[in-house]
Structure formats: structure tokens, C-alpha cells
Structure 1
Amino acid sequence: MMATLGASLDAVASGEIRISAPILPGARQQQGFGHAALTFALGDTAAGYAALSVLPMDNEVVTAEIKINLLAPARGDRLFAIGKVVKPGKRLCVVTAEVFAETDGRQKRIAILQGTMVPVPI
């Protein structure tokens, strides 16, 4: 899905990940803003990769639950999400993400997410 959205992994650190994507024509809603599904997908993915970054290499993660607060329309050229681990764990990882819209170097926070990731051994 991230490839379909044109997303890229911009920064990786232990417990923190940044992912960005352009707001492509096919990812816009009827008023021309980035669709909430794009905002959610970037936030969920950044939060999941953040959880993955603190787990042993033989793990993947799946989202058990995640909520989103949409704060403003996704106006801009691109979105980026910063996912962070709030509390790592062997059975559950609590995560958060903030999503920003960007135009001409100006950034505006448009959403916050909080959720729980479940480590899955592979």
C-alpha cells in the first residue's frame, strides 16, 4: 500500500520513524484535500514501524487497535508522519503518531493517532 501511495521511509531511529507521501490526485477527497484514509495509513504505518524498531529481529507487528483525531484538513503537497513508541513490550507496544501536511516548507499538524501494536514472531 505504501508503494501505491508513493510513500517513502525518511528517517529511522530506535522507537521513532518518519514516513512521507505526496498527496496524489487519487488520494484526495471531494474538496481536494488529502483523504483521511491517506492520513490514517501513514500514521498507522509510522507507528507500526516505530514498534518494530524496538523489537527483536524475528518479530513483525500487527495493529490491535488505533484511534485517530483529525485536527485539520490535509492541505498541501505532501504529508509526513512521525511514529513513536510510548511503551514497548513483549506482548503489546503502545504507540503514537503525528501527521503533518507540508507546503513550501510550511508544516501543519493535521492528525494524532494512538494505538497498540502486537508483536508477532515470524
Structure 2
Amino acid sequence: MEDATQHEQASPEIQARIRKSFDSQGLMAHLGARLTHIGPGRVHIELPARPEVTQQHGYFHAGATSAVADSAGGYAAFTLFPEDTSVLSVEYKINLLAPAVGDRIEAIGTVLRPGRTLTVCRLEVLAVQEERRKLVASGQQTLIRVD
């Protein structure tokens, strides 16, 4: 079911803050991940297929899948935090539903419940092959606002 707000863009100031933080993450750069959508309470991160992010059977590695999901949720929460704060993951759980195979994976973090201290996000990862999308992982995450 498509949410009418899922394509809404965050303000230019929030987008710049998210991009600056994302660009400082060594792991995301190492993996080759890129931000593709920054909206209020919703962030998409894509990871192109390359041998360095796969496991022995050629599927996207669960570690790479989980890492982009964690960052998508963290940045979704961060879009709703005040300017002079930061974000840290407190915990997350992810279920790997199917082997992730495709041209790329797309992690989507969506805020379920914003809070003054703790925020809860839904995590989804889709494998994309020639524009066909398949849900391959689903999870939930709790994040803390750091002043």
C-alpha cells in the first residue's frame, strides 16, 4: 500500500544536514551506498550490486543488507530531530525474508513513532532487478536523539 507522503521531500536544510552526515560515514562510502530519497521521517538508500557486497552464493551479504537498513532508519529519524542534535541506533532487529539478488538493493527507513528521546522506525529492504522490486528483509529499529 503506497503512502501519499512517501515521495515528499524534506526541506533543503534538512537534506543538506542528512547528506553531510551520510557523506562522513566511512562504511557507507566503502560499500558504495547512496542516498536516493530524503523525506520527513523517510529515507531511501541504494546499494548497487558488486562482488564486494555479496556472500559466497552471490547474494547481497546480510551484513551489507543490515548496514544500509540501519542507516536508512537512522537518517529517517534524524530528519525529524532538531538541528543541534545527532542520532544513534539503540537496537534493531531484521528478518531476512528471501535471498537478496538483483541489480541493487534499496533500504527504506520510515519513522513509526517519533519521540523526544527515542524514535522507532520500520526497516524494509527490497531487491531491485530491472525495476522489479521484491521485499527481501524487514525489521524494526529504536534510535536515540543525542543532544
TM-score w.r.t. structure 2 length? Answer: 0.80
Structure 2 residue aligned with 1:95: 121
**Which one has more relative contact order, counting CA pairs under 8 Å at least 6 apart?**
1
Which structure features the higher share of helix residues? 2
> What is the number of residues matched between the two proteins?
121
Runs of 4+ residues deviating >6 angstroms: none
RMSD: 0.7
Structure 1 residue aligned with 2:83: 57
**Is the partner of 2:111 in helix, strand or coil?**
strand
Using the alignment, how far apart are the partners of 1:70 and 1:108 within structure 2?
12
Using the alignment, how far apart are the partners of 2:29 and 2:135 within structure 1?
23
Stretches of structure 1 that go unaligned for 5 or more consecutive residues are none
**Is the partner of 1:102 in helix, strand or coil?**
strand
Would you say 1:83 and 2:125 are equivalent positions?
no
TM-score w.r.t. structure 1 length? Answer: 0.97
Structure 2 residue aligned with 1:7: 33
Structure 2 residue aligned with 1:38: 64
Structure 1 residue aligned with 2:95: 69
Stretches of structure 2 that go unaligned for 5 or more consecutive residues are 1-26
| CA deviation map 1:10-65 (0-9, x unaligned) | 01110001110112101111101000011101110000000000110111111101
CA contact (8 A) 1:44 1:113 kept: no
Question: % of aligned pairs identical?
Answer: 45
Would you say 1:26 and 2:25 are equivalent positions?
no
Which structure features the higher share of strand residues? 1
Counterpart residue identity of residue 66, structure 1: Y
